Chains A and B, each alone.
Chain A
């Protein structure tokens, strides 16, 4: 097991380097730069000076090496769009709302989705199943900005129960988190339902029934654990992926989170910020897949003890 984790860590590092290379060179392959003429009316000499100051006159590989060297020391540079702070400071400030929104959204949506999926699978072809499937399908097909608008319309405009947008006070959190939670809820419900149905149709479930085990024990001990095996590989990465929040939800409810920076950093060729955001996401996904593979091996004896002992 330890050897396995070590091997995986090496592959995570390699992935990380490859992804950083791709992002860095793609970022610079987009035509234009941070100080283009129509954005900033300054003379060529001034522009050259600014480029030289930021090291942008160097060859790409030098820039890449310098940046990555900084990353190794947790120095992600200074964002061009707000030179008064470092990228790290900007991220730690803007990430909090995104993390609260995404984290709470997933923490609420995922368990509800799993419960919904279980209820649907155990009551197959009854109204519970149809209701759950409808909710899941609607949650997946209606774009999140439409559900956001509906929520604002109903609860803020018509009923006037909750503020329409903003952040800060906890009551302002409710609508964006609800809107956001619907995504993991729908996804998890669908996956859970199909995984559970798959397991329920296995021969060994019939055997468990024939042994005289109670239905409750069959479902909660055997079926759940077997269904969890295919699910962890999907759930953990999704969990972490969604924990970074949503650009759309943040825009709809005017949450001062990370979302806006994803767009503005690319638009403004804000190389250090863009790089930092992408590396952060890459890193989190790498760790998520690593974790899910470890959990997968832990709950699946066929991986833990391959073949004959």
Chain B
């Protein structure tokens, strides 16, 4: 008998203005020890189906099914006792954002121990001892200390490990992982995925992996369910789905995974770069309080960096959260004031311009943000939003502004009839198109794009990248594209700058970064990219931060022609290829 058996599951939500069918009659089963992947974009019903399995849906949801059985229990009829057995013991769940998944006012140890105690009669002391063992099994080294930590004191990766430990605490028969790595950095994602596979084998559990990312699927599961619009499009062994996809949606998903290098066609003959950052740095003052006295220290968000954005080119700025990439982008736009350094736009330093002069410069530089929802004013129509820059800079009459805005709507692939709509009526991808139209309507020469595709579904992501590429060629734009993910920039950028802990550690043409990475951090980033085919999945060894520092590349005086220097510095090793390294004799 299968562990999980779902037949003709339907879920609908009652909302103002009627019913929304989130899941329309899906069936699947999971056997003991099996790994099933459910892949689909947001709104496809993949999370809802699994929440229904544990009866975690809100009261507004109506659930019906021919049968939902988990571990032999009829889920829909389960009483209090059965429900407590289902949740935690038959199935355990890990969630997308570990930062919000823990109760902030209790320690990690308390939260794992209470899970154990709610299922078995053990003392608090025993439960805590068990929690420590579990933390060790998810490769947390200082497990005993971590027990006493509060959630806000740990990083996202650590919290997700603790979350897995908590899920394991009652030896569940199936582990449901709902986008467990989407909120994490790429390098951490690879570690967590490997950990999930490891504990699955150790504890002999079944696994249901819910994700929008085919790479995650390729790395972790045996069998795949492709969902779209609340229905199952396709089901089969993972290799078959990757090699011989049947459904058009599956094919589109796979196409977005396999990208190739496409350098931009722009000419490089112009002498002055569109944007040049010279020794740009940002330090924040932090207060340290000691009794009645306050002392100050500096936190260096960005150490002095030099970045050149040539005219007509796209440069990727890649790094994990906290690497300083967004701060650098914000400083380049003068949205954050730099502590030191120069920002040269078409050869003019704008780092010390006053408000008036800066305003006219803003016409040449625009920005697109990650969260398109909060970046668009909810009270304005799309036409008003797109035309606003024209209004601010006093370009044309009101009628001309509206006409131009409508024209731009079409140019970014939206119908003119959308002009009177509001931002909340659009999907994430459509909103990002509006944000792009607003940024480009003034005809800037430089565009800073801060993770514009991170919040989007894979297929939509590919469309937005395509749009940016197209507009870049048409308008002769120079784009600084900020991303945490090397695979995103692969098909878009001409060169890549890798940032790590506020420093630039490597810089090279995109193809060279992928084929010949020099810095250990760049290599770690590349290695962490999930396989694009289950055939290519492999065991990974991860390097700790200290090991990264120790593995800084070394070059000899003869190779570089520079004086020996024990402090790491950026060294040019090939045309356009710089790497942070130590020069030895």
Contacts and interface: CB of A to CB of B under 8 A. Distances in A.
Contacts of B107: 301
Contacts of B163: 207
Contacts of B97: 203
Contact of A207 (B89, B102, B105, B153): B102
Interface string A208-228: 111111100100001001100
A301 B292 contact: no
B170 A6 contact: no
A88 interface: no
Given A212-B89, A217-B118, A206 B56 contact: yes
Interface residues of B, number: 37
Interface string B95-107: 1010011111111
Nearest to A226: B105
A213 B103 contact: no
A208 B93 CA distance: 10
Contacts of A299: 105
B94 to A, nearest CB: 9
Contacts of B105: 222, 225-226, 229, 299-301
A25 interface: no
A300 B152 CA distance: 11
B101 A212 contact: no
A28 B418 CA distance: 64
Q: Is the interface of A mostly helix, strand, loop or mixed?
A: helix
A205 to B, nearest CB: 8
Nearest to A210: B93
Nearest to B149: A309
B115 A301 contact: no
B201 to A, nearest CB: 23
A204 B87 contact: no
A212 B292 contact: no
Given A7-B292, A204-B100, A302-B104, A212 B56 contact: no
Q: Which of B104, B170, B289 has the most CB of A within 10 A?
A: B104
A80 B80 CA distance: 70
Contact of B103 (A2, A4, A6, A226): A226
Interface in A262-309: 299-302, 305, 307-309
Contacts of B291: 2-3, 6-7
B292 A3 contact: yes
**Interface size bracket, A side:** 20 to 34
Given A203-B95, A210-B92, A213-B118, A3 B289 contact: yes
Contacts of A159: none
Nearest to B86: A212
A7 B100 CA distance: 32
Given A301-B105, A301-B150, A309-B153, A211 B292 contact: no
B54 interface: yes
Contacts of A225: 105
Nearest to A223: B103
A202 interface: yes
Query: Nearest 5 A-B pairs (CB), nearest first?
Result: A212-B88, A3-B291, A212-B87, A301-B150, A203-B100
Interface of A: 2-4, 6-7, 10, 202-204, 206-214, 217, 222, 225-226, 229, 299-302, 305, 307-309
Interface of B: 54, 56, 80, 83-89, 92-93, 95, 97, 100-107, 114-115, 118-119, 149-150, 152-153, 163, 166, 170, 289-292
19 contacts: A6-B291, A7-B291, A203-B100, A203-B101, A204-B103, A207-B163, A210-B54, A210-B88, A211-B92, A211-B118, A212-B84, A212-B86, A212-B87, A212-B170, A213-B118, A217-B118, A222-B106, A226-B105, A305-B152
